[in-house]
Structure 1
Amino acid sequence: MKKRITGALCALILILAVILSSCAGTEPRSASFQSMDTLMSVKVYGGDSDLCDRLQRRIDSLDAQLNATDENSDVYQLNQNGKADVSGDTADILTRALRLSKELDPAFDITVYPAVKAWGFCSGDYRVPDDDELKKLAAKIDDTAVKTDKNTFTLPEGVMIDLGAIAKGYAADQCDAILKEGHAAAAVLNLGGTIKLYGKKPDGKLFSVGVADPDNPAGYFGYLSCEGGVMATSGGYERFFDLDGKRYIHILDPATAAPVENGVRSVTILCDDGSAADALSTALFVMGLDKATAYYQIHPDFDFIILTDNDELYITEGIMDDFTLSDGYDFTIKSVEIATAQTDTSR
């Protein structure tokens, strides 16, 4: 069996191509650290001198509460005991996750965790469950069964949660408040591939973020210029294993408890809400191109870039003019409009 896990290198899903110029002699402060099972980096212009440390402490605090494999975390205790009184942060993110799950049903569900474990994506002991096991696993994927009473959450027997698909986006939202309180002029936070862009670059130019090539995550098939917001990407290249000539990715369809196979290679989301960006990148990947497009046309409060197996890029009209295809890529680019079907604009 051939296996590959990118681990901390999932920070390369989206590689920041931002070079912030100095402004009035001010240089950025930066820091890199490991948290939420990935490599993170923060770069801050202006504001309080301890902002980088405060950002790291906030993210580490969230990790300690939300990590499903940490015996001291709220999530671990909830999964093990079936009921737990959790912190305000954990209650908040759980409430957000359940709301997003309802909006994105059935493509996003935080109770997919037992299925993820069964495939070996948590331990690295990879295996392919048989059809009977998959049916049993899928029957337990139902976050409508999660009961809430203020900060007390209850799970039915056999149901477990994982907030990994939303935690980094939630952390980005929490960091926004710290940056405001600390009077930061601008900041770029790479939270393991979820990118938070804050304020305006000192040189007045737009931020430029590279979108990783699924065939070569160290390379970028294009760049998106944007003024702010949160960008999040989901792709099968993040975590996977190969067995008997077949690749199995870590993104599972809640309806089947099996890895997604729908012709989509990666989904990048840009929106103002970090929690939503993370959830949407996973959900639209699960939906596939047609359902993702239909969802966007009804809920056009975000933008996306979807890369398919046949080298087609589908880009929503709101960011179409802000995307630049890298040299050497012969992708067909199609614009996704709110009220009409896609239009070829090959480059």
Structure 2
Amino acid sequence: MIQKQYYGLGTAITLSVNEPATTADLDAGNELIKHYEDILTVNRPVSEVMSINHAAGHKAIQVSDITYQLIKRAVEVSQWQLGFNTAIGPLVKLWKIGFDGANLPADEDIKKRLQLIDPTDIKLDDDSHSVFLTKAGMEIDLGAIAKGYIADAIKDLWVSRGVQSGIVDLGGNILLVGDSTRPNGLWRIGIQNPLQQRHVALGVLTTPAKSVVTSGIYERYLVINGHNYHHMFDSKTGYPIQNDLESVTIVSDLSIDGDIWTTEAFYQDIDKGMPLIEKQPGLDAIFVTRDFKVAITSGIKDSFVLTDSDYHII
């Protein structure tokens, strides 16, 4: 397997292809990442999404088809009110968890931001591909959906270039392309142990070409006075979601669906999250709790093997 590492989207990226694909296919994938990051990021002063945010409360901003369609999808999902919220930007910027200046904000500042994170205040115009944030101070944040969207775009690019087999690894988002080189064509993917460094697994999933997306509280967090504040926020309280989960992994066909449903499932916790995922066609999940329990939906229960004796399946 030909493999190259890059940096983008705030993380280490690994792209891999099997011959006859070449490093040119890897580099083409990375160029696509850079282009998408340029227009979608909210971590730089200038991007298409930041143009929308800067104009909040003042005017609608016309954007490219790529940006518009992703925002439209993010707004649609936000309006399900299951936990995902693309209008969460003001809270993310207030807490700054995972970035310089991370802090525990004053409760009154959090309450002010709660007035600015209603996704129904995002107005879309399909004819002009324009986006209007109706209140000054609002900010769209596509961080919970952009990686999946980009991973799917890389796969489409590779398929168009004739790549038959490969792995897109965007750090938390793994997208498998084609068959593996193993005799049965299946892939073996390690599921991250939340308490260990990256690429140390608690179990292994054997799967055909799928998207495997993991979201957890173990990579971006802030510790103050012994209390751990992670980066996944509750839109009702303005504080990090409070439950017993360390991570949720979603197995799906599209990586964008993995992004969406890891957020929804994490917010819903195991009790509501397991039946919610079981109801979604083509989705499966692995829930990992803080007290070393692992819950697996029915579609992949026989495909997952626990490899860390500290954990047990419930």
1:107 and 2:83 are equivalent in the alignment: yes
Tell me, what secondary structure is at the counterpart of 1:110? coil
Runs of 4+ off more than 6 Å: none
Are the aligned partners of 2:3 and 2:14 in contact in 1 as well (CA < 8 Å)?
yes
* Matched residue, 1:192: 171
Aligned CA distance change for structure 1 residues 196 and 297 (closer, same or farther; 3 Å): closer
CA distance in 2, matches of 1:125, 1:58: 30
* Aligned 8 A contact 1:314 1:333 in 2: yes
**Secondary structure, counterpart of 1:248 in structure 2:** strand
Q: Which has the higher strand share?
A: 1
Report if the CA contact (8 A) 2:103-2:222 is conserved: no
The answer to whether 1:66 aligns with 2:40 is: yes
Q: CA deviation at 1:238?
A: 1.4
- CA deviation digits over 1:105-164, x for unaligned, max 9? 130001111111111226421222233322222232111211111210000222101111
Following the alignment from structure 1 to structure 2, what is the Cα–Cα distance between the partners of residues 203 and 295?
A: 33
Native 8 Å contact 1:112 1:257 kept in 2: no
Question: Structure 1 residues 294 and 138 mapped into 2: Cα distance closer, same or farther (>3 Å)?
Answer: farther
Q: Is contact 1:106-1:254 (8 Å) kept?
A: no
1:152 aligned residue (109, 130, 135): 130
Q: 1:96-245 maps to which residues of 2 (within 5 A)?
A: 96-103=73-80, 105-121=81-97, 123-150=99-126, 151-156=129-134, 157-205=136-184, 206-218=186-198, 219-245=200-226
The number of equivalent residue pairs is 305
Q: Structure 1-normalised TM-score?
A: 0.84
Instruction: Describe the superposition over 1:188-213 as per-residue Cα deviations: whole angstroms up to 9, x where unpaired.
Output: 11112200101001333421111111
Who is 2:7 aligned against? Answer: 34
Q: 2:210, 2:254 within 8 Å by CA — same for their partners in 1?
A: yes
Could you report, residue by residue, the CA deviation over 1:288-314 in whole angstroms, capped at 9, with x for unpaired residues? 111212312332430000011222111
Distance in 2 between the 1:309 and 1:56 partners?
Answer: 35
1:268-287 to structure 2, matched below 5 A, reads 268-287=249-268
Identity of aligned residues (%): 30
Select which of 30, 34, 37 maps to 1:56. 30
* Separation (CA, whole Å) in 1 of partners of 2:280 and 2:235: 22
> Could you say which structure has the greater relative contact order, defined with CA pairs below 8 angstroms and 6 or more residues apart?
1
Deviates more, 1:294-303 or 1:92-101: 294-303
1:48 offset after TM fit, Å?
5.1
Mapped partners of 1:267, 1:62: distance in 2:
26
What's the TM-score, normalizing by structure 2?
0.92
Deviations 1:195-238 (A, max 9, x none): 01010013334211111111113321111111111111111111
Contact persistence 1:106–1:255 (CA under 8 A): no
